[in-house]
Structure 1
Amino acid sequence: MTKALNPDPRPLDHLSLRGKPDDVALIDKQGAWDFAGLETAVGALAQWLNEQGLAPGDRVASWLNKTRLACLMPLASARAGLVHVPINPLLKRAQVGHILADSGAGLLIAGKSRLGSLDEGDAPENCVIAEETDPVLDGDGLPPSQSDPGSLAAILYTSGSTGRPKGVMLSHANMWLGAISVAQYLDVRSSDRALCLLPFSFDYGQNQLFSTWYAGASVVPFDYLMARDVTKAVGRHDVTILAGVPPLWVQLTEIDWPDETAGKLRILTNSGGKMPVPLVEKLRENFPGAALHSMYGLTEAFRSTTLPPNLIDTMPESIGKAIPFAEIMVVAPDGSQTAPDEPGELVHAGPLVALGYWQDPERTAQRFKPAPDFSDYGGMAVWSGDTVTRDADGFLRFVGRDDAMIKSAGNRISPSEIEDAAIGSGETAEACAFGVADERLGQGIRLVVRGNGDASDDALKRYLKTELPNFMQPQEIIWQENLPRNPNGKLDRTEIERKWGA
């Protein structure tokens, strides 16, 4: 556990003041933006947001690719006293409609094509709709805010094992201290350039902005189609930091990297799923000069552990130790601290713990509970539901996830969302989705449904493609005339997965 560094959080929008005015803060197709330009743009956008008829604490949603506007929205919303709700650009109207309704968004900013995909009623009645070309990014703006660091600044939506996506509430302090923590343990320097490949709706992708700017370094927001696009971007922009999830690393190790380009990379970071040992070995072979950081985290507490790069070769299966500002405990069923190598639940305490789930006290109470008696931080903790072990030297190893979440290509996917869509197609009345081992994705998706599967198979697949994003599409649909049930008459999910999960 590390409490040192700078425990004094500040309002999130102060991140635009971290670099030297003339140093480059952002690089994209439009050119370079220095920190002085970034600060001006944050103030101007905050002023524009302030003119949209919103009250302090109102939610403003953005559904954008990795544009300059998308990079600015977290800071400008915070400066305007609003709560930012970033929406994954891969989501489709059903998921977006749920997020807008659940958050009570007072403003939605998106591109024309995305806005055109929404049906009447998808956005709340009083939600202002703005095209991404409407906001103003220059001219007079609001000065740095004096917001309470403990106040709500963002809601990030993440799928749960049951039900629709839930909104994790993050304070200014959560994100500010997360930026300090990552910048410190990655040793981010002002000379670094981080290629931002991950969606800003993910805490992992969003933090890459924050930690890079906290260090006074440069971000390169980048939407890619092919793995080779990443290689070219690294060479073109002299990128030194690359963050990814296991499926992306698999793609990047399957293509040729010129030695000069590979040699530019100084830091590689992985989260969103375990890296198999062969993948670690391939990354070390392809990028021998880069420090490879393997990390574990959950949106409810941002990130929990990291394995020092000098240990990745000797203990690649470990998830490391607590990051700065995190206290990580392994708790036995009776609430006591486990002995070395004894399995227990990973519990995270400290100032990175989120504020709970938006307007969902029941699920908040299930995940956010008082820290164990032996905690140094105390207060509210996140009980992850994940089983880990800690060895005699304090290094953690992930054992398994207790809930039914599917983790595919770095995405946390709720099985019930897929099941609800399958049933909504009218092709089947019952469905059960679960994850199966997949070398490239971490987990693939298998869907078992009740029906005869004749003409309905193609119809169901077509329907799912229109209703669900690509990363939620089943790799295989299994049709059965009858499905196992438990004594209560409900589908026996355990038996279904046992029979068809191999």
Structure 2
Amino acid sequence: MLRSGGADLTIAGGIREFGRATPAALAVRDGDRALTYAALDERSSRLANALLLLHLKPGDRVALLCGNRLEYPEIAAGIAKAGLVLVPVNPRLTAPEVDFILGHSGARVLIADDALAASVPSFTGAVICIGGSSLGLEYEGWIGAAPAKDPWVAVDERDPFCITYTAGTTGDPKGVLISHRSRCLTFYATALEWGLGPGRRTIAVAPMYHGAGFAFAYAAVYCGATVSMLRSFDPHLLLDMIRRERAQSVFLVPTHAQLIRGAVREVPELPSLDTLYFNAAALPKVLKEWVFEAFPGVGVHELYGSTEAGVVTNLRPPDARRKAGSVGHPWFATQVRVVGPDGQPVGPGEPGELYSRSPYLMNGYHDNPAATAVCTTDDGYLTSGDIVVADDEGFISIVDRVKDLIITGGVNVYPRDVEEVLLTHSSVVEAAVVGEPDDRWGERVVAYLVCREAIEATALDAHLRARLAGYKVPKEFKIIAALPRNAAGKVLKRELRSTP
């Protein structure tokens, strides 16, 4: 019987293939720097060999601390070519937070942007510096001295290519083990769904250390397209890059759309752009309608997923307006089930917890079998931790996080219901609703708001009471300058609950 052997899927595969098929095609652009596929293939091989010369063994971990820049794809591919495991690190973390990730992952090498030296803790492994040498070996000289021949270290496609650390919403961050197979299939499905294939152009807007940011930027070089690096988000700079780079498919999070809306009076014509796809948090209906108007003729997708599950659902352009508020149907090769508190499936229109099963699921949490067991089932499903409703056509809508459900006076309140109505008020820019302890009701509903102008609580109360049941109306409205968010754009409600 034939075996796949060396044909196993690895995230280095696409770069190897297009390094031969289209060597002169542009793979990565970063300002005035650029790499062809031939150069990307060669440089990633040099990096692989440089790592192997450090006497690393297959499966050893290599941490990467940097933002979106030209070197990111070649480092990820080179680590894979060497049979090692990438540990992407958020460049916004403090040295103690970085220290935890390096220690927990067991990283033996750290590749870091020299500009982030202040975030690097004391580390006993090898340190390689991009753009300097204050912490260790200088990156360009290090890879330049290594052989250019691809080492072709054997990799099992079900082994992890990376350990991605969660934001740590409760306790220490957890390391999510993501396999080569999971991400390679994600890349191919991304090319099919959002057009990231040969000859296409995109921009790495979301940070690449994050699961979605990496998947949707790296999918470009895996599938023969071109990705341009946006170093830090700026609405005007992004729109100018789309025009200048003639980008066609671009991934954003709702916060990006909100920032563009607030900074730009009118979005300029962008004739190359044909696809926008959103993830990380629910796209409020009011904001989604603005996206339709600001980017006419552009297909708008809204997808849903997580680091642990990968992409779970997608709402495609033909249904984008008709099913606004939904995240669509299960994605390619994905099965879902919606269950009630008793673990039994619920019917259409009934809220329940969403579970999914697909080839994109994580392998588990690194060194944490107990946490893995809590979120998985014996038959291979993974909980999303979200409460959803599926309608009679199978379209799924996210009601709220299980942990964000508010129980006030024994009645369930889903914060998103209240947030959507708050956003229909002309003065409200952003809204987050949480439950806070209350001696009488158990929890009281509290709204945190970012507003365009001063507004009285009585006016907000009246606006909501005309549209919501009384028990859903917040007992308190707190106006703040900005909602706390992680790098993926998700609101950190735990921080709001601790706001005095």
TM-score (norm 2): 0.75
Instruction: Give SS of 1:335's match.
Output: coil
Please name the residue that 2:382 is paired with: 382
Give the 3 Å change call, closer, same or farther, for CA 29–350 of structure 1 in structure 2: same
Please name the residue that 1:132 is paired with: 130
Give the 3 Å change call, closer, same or farther, for CA 157–438 of structure 1 in structure 2: farther
Please name the residue that 2:49 is paired with: 47
Q: CA deviation at 1:259?
A: 3.7
Give the 3 Å change call, closer, same or farther, for CA 475–158 of structure 1 in structure 2: closer
Q: Any idea what the Cα deviations from partners look like across 1:156-206, whole Å, max 9, x if unmatched?
A: 001243101110001111111111122112233422211101111111111
1:177–1:325 CA contact under 8 A, matched in 2: no
2:88–2:209 CA contact under 8 A, matched in 1: yes
Q: What stretches of structure 1 of length at least 5 have no aligned partner?
A: 1-7, 372-379, 408-414, 416-433, 441-464, 479-495
Q: CA deviation at 1:211?
A: 2.1
Give the 3 Å change call, closer, same or farther, for CA 113–217 of structure 1 in structure 2: closer
Q: CA deviation at 1:39?
A: 1.2
Instruction: Give SS of 2:238's match.
Output: helix
Q: Counterparts of 1:267 and 1:236 in 2: how far apart (Å)?
A: 16
Q: CA deviation at 1:477?
A: 9.2
Q: CA deviation at 1:257?
A: 5.0
Q: Is 1:282 paired with 2:283?
A: no
AA aligned to 2:224 is G
Q: CA deviation at 1:41?
A: 1.5
1:432-451 aligned at under 5 Å gives the runs 437-438=448-449
AA aligned to 1:390 is A
Q: CA deviation at 1:32?
A: 3.1
Q: Counterparts of 1:185 and 1:173 in 2: how far apart (Å)?
A: 18
Match of 1:72 among 64, 71, 74: 74
Q: CA deviation at 1:115?
A: 2.4
Q: Larger relative contact order (C-alpha < 8 A, sep ≥ 6)?
A: 1
Give the 3 Å change call, closer, same or farther, for CA 474–13 of structure 1 in structure 2: closer
AA aligned to 1:283 is V
AA aligned to 1:129 is V
Please name the residue that 2:16 is paired with: 17
Please name the residue that 1:344 is paired with: 352
Please name the residue that 1:148 is paired with: 156
Please name the residue that 2:272 is paired with: 264
Q: CA deviation at 1:335?
A: 3.0
Q: CA deviation at 1:22?
A: 2.5
Q: Is 1:398 paired with 2:406?
A: no
Give the alignment's Cα RMSD to 1 decimal. Answer: 3.1
1:15–1:213 CA contact under 8 A, matched in 2: yes
Q: Any idea what the Cα deviations from partners look like across 1:437-468, whole Å, max 9, x if unmatched?
A: 5569xxxxxxxxxxxxxxxxxxxxxxxx9xx9
What is the percentage of aligned positions where both structures have the same residue?
27
2:253–2:489 CA contact under 8 A, matched in 1: no
Quick check: 39-48 or 140-149, which moved more?
Answer: 140-149
Q: CA deviation at 1:223?
A: 1.0
Give the 3 Å change call, closer, same or farther, for CA 276–439 of structure 1 in structure 2: farther
Q: Is 1:59 paired with 2:57?
A: no
Please name the residue that 1:453 is paired with: none
Q: Counterparts of 2:247 and 2:111 in 1: how far apart (Å)?
A: 30
Q: What stretches of structure 2 of length at least 5 have no aligned partner?
A: 1-6, 132-137, 406-414, 417-433, 435-444, 452-483
Give the 3 Å change call, closer, same or farther, for CA 477–310 of structure 1 in structure 2: closer
2:61–2:85 CA contact under 8 A, matched in 1: yes
2:204–2:227 CA contact under 8 A, matched in 1: yes
Q: Any idea what the Cα deviations from partners look like across 1:42-97, whole Å, max 9, x if unmatched?
A: 11111111112322211100101212222222211111111100111122212111
Q: Any idea what the Cα deviations from partners look like across 1:225-257, whole Å, max 9, x if unmatched?
A: 531111221122111122111111111223145
Q: Counterparts of 1:435 and 1:9 in 2: how far apart (Å)?
A: 51
Q: CA deviation at 1:351?
A: 1.2
Match of 1:84 among 82, 86, 92: 86
Instruction: Give SS of 2:403's match.
Output: coil
Q: Counterparts of 1:152 and 1:206 in 2: how far apart (Å)?
A: 15
Q: How many positions carry a matched residue from both structures?
A: 411
1:91–1:469 CA contact under 8 A, matched in 2: no
1:402-441 aligned at under 5 Å gives the runs 402-403=402-403, 437-438=448-449
2:327–2:396 CA contact under 8 A, matched in 1: yes
2:280–2:489 CA contact under 8 A, matched in 1: no
Q: Counterparts of 1:338 and 1:472 in 2: how far apart (Å)?
A: 28
Q: Counterparts of 1:128 and 1:174 in 2: how far apart (Å)?
A: 29
Q: Counterparts of 2:447 and 2:152 in 1: how far apart (Å)?
A: 48
Please name the residue that 1:199 is paired with: 207
Q: CA deviation at 1:144?
A: 4.0
